[in-house]
């Protein structure tokens, strides 16, 4: 710089500095072209951090490189004060309707807008705003302006921007002025990539997806992403986890499967999604992404694979052992507490029952009807909601070594509770009776095992 008066305060805006970095500055001055140089003192300055919470970041402009004129007081366009302004003292000559550019420079940031403020004027008719991404300038706005304006554009990595002001008259001595020019810059990453898992659901045709919620910015605690996108296919070679192109080409959960993608919860929250009504046994391939409000999408998740649940029959009991104690031969005994039998499968089932002696070397055998005989025991079993009277057990309730299916009459005291078409998760109370042999050739304790099978 030259031509400034003694005692004047000068400022030179410096842009493109790294965050959390210490810089040293020194000014030199001399009187005239041949005067001795005088060094100023070393000035040290440490820049602040680049924002990491997604808030707007102010970006310092640098002096115009346009040779057609010069802007002064450029720091006024980044002081967050809409009333102050930079001036360009360039006279508008014939055919020179545009001012020189004001440039902004920053370390590469993700940005989706610029804030500009210019005064309304009959002579300053419009502005033109360009951004530079990967070295390519793109015009994002050229129109009138009166006061403050946010120029939005698709989110991209931006390193430079520039603005110029247009006038249509040739006013002698006219100068352009400009108030504010700031990046609305986002320096934080998108949500972190998600680790996705999948399993068969409980019910037929179900798959359950699960993952942990990412943060809005990377995996930042306490933040919440804006949206999930889950894609799927049944073709392995087209798995959405292979590439972004396949992810975008595959079907979305929303219109295709019986499910609604949940809104994200706060970072670290376990998330799950149950897909229902799928063709049983078909294998599906899934991937997921998340975005924040800018919007910036996360990287692809891993691939998760599962087949839609098939019919599963199951049965569980709440007692593995029932002790009748010491029972004299030639008599009968009955259980006083029920064994609760629950359908633990995913489809309604009918129970079949059988019994066998399981004491090694036992001389006892299982009888098929009364009366009993030496070393022959008869076992009864029947479903009923409450403790039944012994007399209510009948020949239709006798268990044999051959598995027999329940009916409304068979293995049921009065038909009000049966082992027929038991709903998923429903419990049935099973009661037993034992008619002892008339005589026994052993005094050893005898074990008998009742087998309950869930079937169609």
110 three-state secondary structure: strand
Over residues 79-124, the pLDDT tens digits come to 666 677 776 655 544 456 677 777 776 656 667 667 677 765 545 6
Residue 16 pLDDT more than 60? no
Q: And the tokens for 455? A: 């079937």
> For all residues of the chain together, what is the average pLDDT?
82
Q: Which of 50-54, 209-213, 445-449 has the lowest mean pLDDT?
A: 50-54
Please state which of the ranges 122-131, 376-385, 399-408, 428-437 shows the lowest mean pLDDT.
122-131
pLDDT > 60? residue 453: yes
For 417-448, give one letter per residue: b (16+ CB within 10 A) or e: bbbbebebeebbbbbbbbbbbeebeeeeebeb
User: What homologous superfamily is domain 197-307 in, according to CATH?
Assistant: Immunoglobulins (2.60.40.10)
Name the residue ranges covered by the structural domains of the chain.
Answer: 22-186, 197-307, 315-455
Q: What is the DSSP letter of 248?
A: H
Q: Tell me which architecture the domain covering 22-186 has in CATH.
A: Sandwich (2.60)
What are 156-176's pLDDT values in tens digits? 777 777 888 776 554 544 456
φ, ψ of residue 246 to 5 degrees: the values are -70, -40
Where residue 432 falls among pLDDT bands split at 50, 70, 90?
A: very high
CATH architecture of 315-455: Sandwich (2.60)
Candidates 104, 111, 125, 105; CA nearest to 181 is 104
- How far apart are alpha carbons 41 and 223 in whole angstroms? 45
In the chain, the percentage of residues whose pLDDT exceeds 90 is 52
Beta strands in 247-308 (DSSP E): 251-252, 270-275, 283-291, 304-307
- List the structure tokens of 364: 């006892």
Domain 22-186 matches domain 315-455 at the CATH topology level: no
Residue 313 near residue 212 (C-beta atoms within 8 A): no
The Cα 105–Cα 352 span in angstroms is 80
Angstrom CA distances, 422 to 99, 399, 451, 455, stand at 84, 20, 17, 10
Bridge partners (DSSP) of residue 232 are 251, 286
Both tokens of 244, joined, read 């972004």
Q: What tokens does 413 get?
A: 């005291």
Residue 100's pLDDT is: 74
The whole-model pTM stands at 0.56
pLDDT digits (tens, 9 = 90+) for 27-66: 777 766 666 677 777 777 665 544 444 443 444 444 444 4
Torsion angles phi and psi, residue 255, rounded to 5: -85, -20
pLDDT tens column, 240-290? 999 999 999 999 887 667 788 999 999 999 999 999 999 999 999 999 999
């Amino acid at each position: 710089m030259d031509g400034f008066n003694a005692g004047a305060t000068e400022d030179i805006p410096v842009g493109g500095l790294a965050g959390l970095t210490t810089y040293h500055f020194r000014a030199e001055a001399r009187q005239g072209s041949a005067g001795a140089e005088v060094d100023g003192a070393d000035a040290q300055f440490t820049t602040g951090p680049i924002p990491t919470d997604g808030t707007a970041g102010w970006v310092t402009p640098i002096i115009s490189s346009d040779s057609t004129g010069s802007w002064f007081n450029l720091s006024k366009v980044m002081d967050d004060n809409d009333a102050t302004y930079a001036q360009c003292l360039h006279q508008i000559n014939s055919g020179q309707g545009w001012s020189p550019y004001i440039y902004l420079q920053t370390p590469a940031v993700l940005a989706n807008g610029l804030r500009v403020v210019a005064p309304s004027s009959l002579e300053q008719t419009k502005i033109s705003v360009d951004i530079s991404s990967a070295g390519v300038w793109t015009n994002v706005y050229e129109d009138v302006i009166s006061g403050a304006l946010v120029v939005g554009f698709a989110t991209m990595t931006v390193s430079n921007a520039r603005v110029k002001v247009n006038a249509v008259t040739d006013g002698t001595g006219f100068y352009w002025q400009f108030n504010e020019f700031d990046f609305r810059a986002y320096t934080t990453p998108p949500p972190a990539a998600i680790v996705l898992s999948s399993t068969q659901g409980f019910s037929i045709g179900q798959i359950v997806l699960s993952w942990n919620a990412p943060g809005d910015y990377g995996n930042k605690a306490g933040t919440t992403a804006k949206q999930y996108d889950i894609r799927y296919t049944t073709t392995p070679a087209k798995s959405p986890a292979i590439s972004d192109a396949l992810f975008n080409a595959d079907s979305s959960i929303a219109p295709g499967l019986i499910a609604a993608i949940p809104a994200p919860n706060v970072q670290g929250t376990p998330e799950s999604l149950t897909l229902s009504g799928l063709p049983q046994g078909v294998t599906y391939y899934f991937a997921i992404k998340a975005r924040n409000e800018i919007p910036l999408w996360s990287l692809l998740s891993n691939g998760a694979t599962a087949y839609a649940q098939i019919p599963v029959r199951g049965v569980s009991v709440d007692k593995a052992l029932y002790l009748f104690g010491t029972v004299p031969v030639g008599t009968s005994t009955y259980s006083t507490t029920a064994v609760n039998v629950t359908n633990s499968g995913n489809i309604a089932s009918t129970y079949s029952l059988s019994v066998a002696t399981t004491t090694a070397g036992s001389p006892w055998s299982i009888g098929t009807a009364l009366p009993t005989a030496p070393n022959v025991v008869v076992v009864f079993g029947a479903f009923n909601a409450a403790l039944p009277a012994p007399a209510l057990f009948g020949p239709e309730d006798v268990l044999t070594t051959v598995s027999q299916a329940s009916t409304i009459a068979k293995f049921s005291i009065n038909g009000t509770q049966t082992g027929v078409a038991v709903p998923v998760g429903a419990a049935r109370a099973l009661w037993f009776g034992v008619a002892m042999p008339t005589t026994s050739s052993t005094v050893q304790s005898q074990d008998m095992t009742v087998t309950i099978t869930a079937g169609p």
